[in-house]
Amino acid sequence: MIARSIALFVLAAITEIGGAWLIWQGAREGKGLIWIGLGVISLGFYGFMASLQPDPNFGRVLAAYGGVFVAGSLAWAMIFDRFTPDRYDLIGAAICLMGVGVIMYGPR
């Protein structure tokens, strides 16, 4: 159950961050409407990811996903934009991921 949840968080991050990045590329980097359209489609897929999480609580899932988004955004930037995070970026991302663990997988 935890492995499925983590996989869904990763897919959500890819579709949301990837969609936003595609729109950024299309609008700000001049790559055009096809990139923007692909970004919109990707963001649409992201919208379904939370509903697939095993936990039935929308607020908990979205709150925890916020931490995944922070870490995922830095990872995306490293891979696709040659961004080099500093130690504070990495510390902040680690704190966020610890929050995900507490919110989603803490004993209840």
The string of pLDDT tens digits covering residues 23-71 is 999 999 999 999 999 999 999 999 998 899 999 999 999 999 999 999 9
* pLDDT given for residue 33 in this prediction: 98
Average pLDDT of every residue of the chain? 97
pTM of the model: 0.91
Single-letter residue type at 99: G
* pLDDT given for residue 50 in this prediction: 87
Largest Cα span, the chain: 49
CA distances, 89 to each of 6, 8, 9, 71 (Å): 21, 24, 20, 9
pLDDT over 90, % of the chain = 96
DSSP-assigned states of every residue in the chain: -HHHHHHHHHHHHHHHHHHHHHHHHHHHS---HHHHHHHHHHHHHHHHHGGGSSS--HHHHHHHHHHHHHHHHHHHHHHHS-----HHHHHHHHHHHHHHHHHHHS--
**95 has pLDDT over 90:** yes
